[in-house]
Structure 1
Amino acid sequence: NPFGNGHINATYKVEILNSDVSFILQKINTNVFTNPQNIVHNHLAIQKSIIPADIEIPHLIRSNKGKFLYLDENHNIWRMMNFIKNSYSVEIVEDRDQAYEAGKGFGWFLKACSGLNPSIFYEAIQDFHSLTFRLNQLNEAITKNKSNRVSDSKSIIGFYKEREHKLLELEESFETNKIPVRVVHNDTKINNLLYRNKKAIAVIDLDTVGPGNVFFDYGDAIRTITNTADEDEKDLSKVDFNLEMFESFTKGYLLQTKSVLVDKELNLLAYAPFYMTFIIGIRFLSDYLNGDIYYKTKYPKHNLTRSLVQRKLIEKMESKFESMQYIIEKYSY
């Protein structure tokens, strides 16, 4: 039976008659993951290293031919994992307890992977969180102006341009190894976490796992958990940065990770939500200027609306930045 609401791979739950054992079967989207063997390699590297405790990851299962991937007659590529019983995911964080557990869950993952060598992992999607790459895409979209939308978008283009220099300085600290390269999840949406009895019990959807840094995981989780509105909310007055959710997630995250993070990471961690929100904002804007060729849209200015929401979220973060820094320092030591 079809299972979940993922946007990339086709996912099914397989139930065995007269048994309580179930599995997750997925057809891998090879348009996104062009080398499925690489994501299997990454998954197995973690699977062999992480010892399950209160929180776990799904495990890949071999086919009857002993392989972790199966090629069908239509050249589709499939893989199977164990189904984690009595669990559920959420699409929106409903309260501070859920946010705290999310922080614990994703923090556990970073800590559990802290002893792994990032150099043995493949980059699942090249330049996925590269600010330089995304800015080059934006600049190209502005220059080409394929859909004649630049003149009507000068205000929001200017907003992002005013802030790019500061965030490029942050990215430079990644590239000069001032910020350690780590094995990270790279896609810490709240629905990539499973709960049982209101406790985080599993981190799932490991296709993007690979080299990165703590800013990617912490920043994207904060971006999605703290936004008080939908990602495409037209009424921008509804968009705010929920500082209580920020504190709850941060408390859980640093409870797990403060023993492995270095001072430089902790000192700059408050910039992580800006970095990730900025990147998704300019991705939406670039797609709008290019004529909406990447993200699915429901109306002509849908991508512009999405980018405006990210802009408003950044503005709200800026107004609460000192509080964000204080909260991170509070739970760092």
Structure 2
Amino acid sequence: MELTIDESILKSYGLNHQNIKIQQIGSGHINRTYLLIQTTGEQKKYVLQEINTHVFTNPEAVANNIKQIADFLAENFPDYLFPAPLAANDGSTMVAFNNAYWRLSPFVDHTIALDTLTAPQQAYQAAKQFGKLSRLLNDFDSSMLQETIVGFHDLHLRFDQFQTALAQSSQALRAQAAKEIETALGFKSILTEYQSLKDSLPNRVMHHDTKINNVLLAQHTYEGVCVIDLDTLMPGKFISDLGDMMRTYLCEFSENETDLSKITVRMDYFAAMIEGYLSEMGDILTDTEKKAILFSGKYIIYMQALRFLADFLNGSVYYPINYPLQNLDRTKNQFKLLIQLVKNEEELLELISNCLIKN
């Protein structure tokens, strides 16, 4: 079935709907994304997205953050590929139509976005690209940016939300999740460490969503090209980006895997990811940050487990599910990954040390 977009949106960018072919693309769960192909004259491709205002309640802040960063990079690093949204006819980078917000970005040809990692080199290239963006923005004043999702990676907030869900949940749900609740409380030391550490970590411009399909790789060589999905570019700590890479790169299987025997840490992927990140950020990170590299994985994995568990206790109202116990299974999955990280801590710290020496 051929897709259609209201022609008023296309006209806002000087595009003629009669000359545009539309395909829905992307595997993300937040924004709806379309590929636009101009069918007459010089073939041009664009990416059109409708912003999910239930998640991004202040879309103007998203647009403003990206524009500030795009302007900074264009002035200071003009050769860096940053696929920022294109200007509409009125000069804005976001178009409002029928209570929805849309933006148009250039399509980066001859690239792919992977949904799963199949080689350590891919982890290296992805981590290098996220590290490179952080390095280039090292002199950008992050306080000029707004939080596009307030408290997104605030572990204290997420723990409080878990406790609230626990207090308000039904007895039946608490009974089903009894073991996971015990595990969550048993790992509370991660929250304590976060609270004592966070003020000593400098604020930086962070991507906050560094899963593998948010970086474009060259189609045939898998060399890193650029970072995409820029909505959560906002002030944060480096543990957000590196921790999310650990959560999503280290295990061969996603949080939806129910066979917990498959949830293991791939040491070669870990080493490749750390080496790729430090090849860009090794001279930028402070000594305190370097000591917190492994903690970043514990922090993000624990936080995501808490979020899945809180949602289960709330009746699964936030994360989409395919069966009633899915959020509980996701919780078990993430706690298994966290346990694996802790179990292999000595070897992982040695790998980090070797990478720090190299970089």
* Shared fold, TM over 0.5: yes
3-state SS, counterpart of residue 13 of structure 1: strand
Corresponding position of 2:212: 190
Q: CA deviation at 1:65?
A: 1.7
Give deviations 1:284-306, integer Å, cap 9, x for gaps.
Answer: 00111111100111111000000
- Pairing 1:224–2:252 present: no
Cα distance between partner residues in 2 of 1:279 and 1:56: 32
Corresponding position of 2:274: 250
Give the 5 Å matches for 1:141-290: 141-146=165-170, 148-174=172-198, 176=199, 178-196=200-218, 197-290=221-314
Contact persistence 2:83–2:105 (CA under 8 A): yes
Cα distance between partner residues in 1 of 2:252 and 2:342: 16
Structure 1 counterpart of 2:319, one-letter code? Y
Contact persistence 2:271–2:355 (CA under 8 A): no
Corresponding position of 2:355: 331
Contact persistence 1:147–1:291 (CA under 8 A): no
Cα distance between partner residues in 2 of 1:167 and 1:192: 27
Which one is further off, 20-29 or 250-259? 20-29
Q: TM-score, normalised by structure 1?
A: 0.96
Corresponding position of 2:69: 46
Which one is further off, 154-163 or 206-215? 154-163
3-state SS, counterpart of residue 65 of structure 1: coil
For the structure 1 residues 289 and 19, does the alpha-carbon distance in structure 2 shift closer, same or farther, using more than 3 Å as the test?
Answer: same
Give deviations 1:135-186, integer Å, cap 9, x for gaps.
Answer: 1111011111147311232211111111112333223321x2x111111101
3-state SS, counterpart of residue 183 of structure 1: strand
3-state SS, counterpart of residue 230 of structure 2: coil
Q: CA deviation at 1:110?
A: 1.2
In structure 1, the gaps of 5 or more residues are: none
Structure 1 counterpart of 2:328, one-letter code? L
Q: CA deviation at 1:52?
A: 5.0
- Pairing 1:30–2:53 present: yes
Give the one of 317, 322, 326 matched to 2:346: 322
Corresponding position of 2:114: 90
Cα distance between partner residues in 2 of 1:136 and 1:149: 18
Which one is further off, 189-198 or 59-68? 59-68
Contact persistence 1:147–1:290 (CA under 8 A): no
Greater Rg, structure 1 or structure 2? 2
Cα distance between partner residues in 2 of 1:44 and 1:71: 17
Contact persistence 2:190–2:298 (CA under 8 A): no
Cα distance between partner residues in 2 of 1:2 and 1:284: 28
Give the one of 83, 86, 90 matched to 1:61: 86
Cα distance between partner residues in 2 of 1:166 and 1:58: 36
Cα distance between partner residues in 2 of 1:223 and 1:136: 22
Structure 2 counterpart of 1:75, one-letter code? N
- Pairing 1:9–2:34 present: no
Q: TM-score, normalised by structure 2?
A: 0.89
Structure 2 counterpart of 1:283, one-letter code? R
Q: CA deviation at 1:57?
A: 2.0
3-state SS, counterpart of residue 173 of structure 2: coil
Contact persistence 2:85–2:104 (CA under 8 A): yes
Cα distance between partner residues in 1 of 2:66 and 2:171: 40
- Pairing 1:71–2:96 present: yes
Identity of aligned residues (%): 31
Cα distance between partner residues in 1 of 2:225 and 2:236: 23
Contact persistence 1:147–1:289 (CA under 8 A): no
Contact persistence 1:110–1:184 (CA under 8 A): yes
Cα distance between partner residues in 1 of 2:319 and 2:107: 30
Give deviations 1:260-295, integer Å, cap 9, x for gaps.
Answer: 100000011111101000000010001111111001
Cα distance between partner residues in 2 of 1:124 and 1:168: 26
Count matched residues: 329
Give deviations 1:43-63, integer Å, cap 9, x for gaps.
Answer: 01111122254x622122111
Provide the alpha-carbon RMSD of the alignment.
Answer: 1.3
In structure 2, the gaps of 5 or more residues are: 1-22
Cα distance between partner residues in 2 of 1:20 and 1:329: 49
Give the one of 297, 313, 319 matched to 1:295: 319
Corresponding position of 1:109: 133
